[in-house]
Amino acid sequence: MVKKTKKGKKGKNEIKGPEPVTTLNILQDRTKMLCPRMGDVYSKNNNVEDILQDVAESYLHKVIDNQSNSINLGGLKLTKFPTLINVGTELDCLIDINLSKNNLFNGDEVFEALSHLPFVTKLNLSENFLNGTLSRFAGLMEMLEVLNLDVNNLTALCPAVQNWTNLRIFTISDNSLIDLPIEASSWNRLTVLNMKNNKVMDIGSLPQYWPLLERLYLGSNLVNSVPYEIGKCKNLSVLDFSCNSIQTLPLSLGQCHALKALYLGSNKIEHLPPEIFACLTNLRELHLYKNKITSIPPEIGNLQGISSLLMLFAI
């Protein structure tokens, strides 16, 4: 009768085989099979980026074929603007480009590429990773009329923005701007400026150079005074200085006769000059909540067109 041998431990002197090695070919095979292995993540991401870059380039080829004037490259995780070889002036038809929600971070690279498209008037670069001072190449886009740089990490604008003489709408909210350069005085066609949620302390006398300005958004910054020159903006209909550190209001504000919405909530205002509100007869919305106001001038009560009045004061 044959005895069954017990399964015991392997001998101490047993020769072990070679350690398994993951070769490049194995990694590529796993990627092809979409194996959920940690070692494949980087390769997969690279492959996805390459694929999306190819998609962006195919969109550009369609623009050339159809001579389209707009292109939407938003949300493609692009790290650079796709470039095509030997296209010459075939992309000159583009006037509207959407590059929002990507991973663009090298401003010089992005704007240098875009500067070769001479007729672009509308550009959306919101929700990217542009940082530091805006690239000097941005100044080469002299035809820009509408520019969206919201949700980046820009800290300053370059002097070359003086070339944006056609700019009408500029929004750069949710960045880290401290101020605007004096070169912004050349934006004499500006109608909308949105700088909400930055670190702006002062915009100086710049409003006097923006006679066509209709809407100015400077809420959630570090502004401690409304510029006296605001009175030069005769077309101003919306003015937002909410969530700042403003203590006083200039009498020149009363010269903004077209003003319909005035947002001054969450500041440190103590006094409301009656002369201002006697002149703002077109006012429809007035927010004065969370200030240090101790009395309300009767002129505010005489504003018959008011439809929204928030006056929850911290008296």
Mean pLDDT of the 252-265 span: 97
Count other C-beta atoms under 10 Å from residue 92's C-beta.
Answer: 14
User: Tokens 């004499």 identify what position?
Assistant: 188
d(CA 48, CA 26): 19
Q: Would the pLDDT of 19 be above 60? A: no
DSSP helix, strand, coil percent of the chain (3-state; round to 5): 25, 15, 60
Q: Which residue has the higher pLDDT, 32 or 223?
A: 223
d(CA 174, CA 194): 10
User: Tokens 């020769």 identify what position?
Assistant: 15
Q: Would the pLDDT of 44 be above 90? A: no
Which residues on adjacent β-strands are paired with residue 147?
123, 170
User: pTM of the prediction?
Assistant: 0.83
pLDDT tens track for 179-202: 999 999 999 999 999 999 999 999
Residue 42: pLDDT band (50, 70, 90) is very low
d(CA 224, CA 245): 5
pLDDT tens track for 70-106: 999 999 999 998 877 667 688 999 999 999 999 999 9
Q: Which two tokens stand for residue 229?
A: 């020159």
* Angle of helix 41-66 versus helix 24-33 axis, rounded to 10: 60
> Could you give the residue ranges of the DSSP H alpha helices within the chain?
24-33, 41-66, 107-114, 274-279, 298-301
Mean pLDDT of the 56-62 span: 89
Q: Which residue has the higher pLDDT, 26 or 165?
A: 165
Q: Would the pLDDT of 39 be above 50? A: no
Residue 144: pLDDT band (50, 70, 90) is very high
d(CA 238, CA 226): 14
d(CA 185, CA 165): 9
Cα–chain-centroid distance for residue 152?
5
d(CA 224, CA 160): 28
Phi, psi of 27 (to 5 degrees): -60, -40
pLDDT tens track for 4-16: 555 555 555 555 5
Measuring CA to CA, which residue among 209, 213, 123, 214 is closest to residue 172? 123
Q: Which residue has the higher pLDDT, 230 or 82?
A: 230
Q: Which two tokens stand for residue 296?
A: 């309300």
d(CA 290, CA 266): 5
Q: Would the pLDDT of 136 be above 70? A: yes
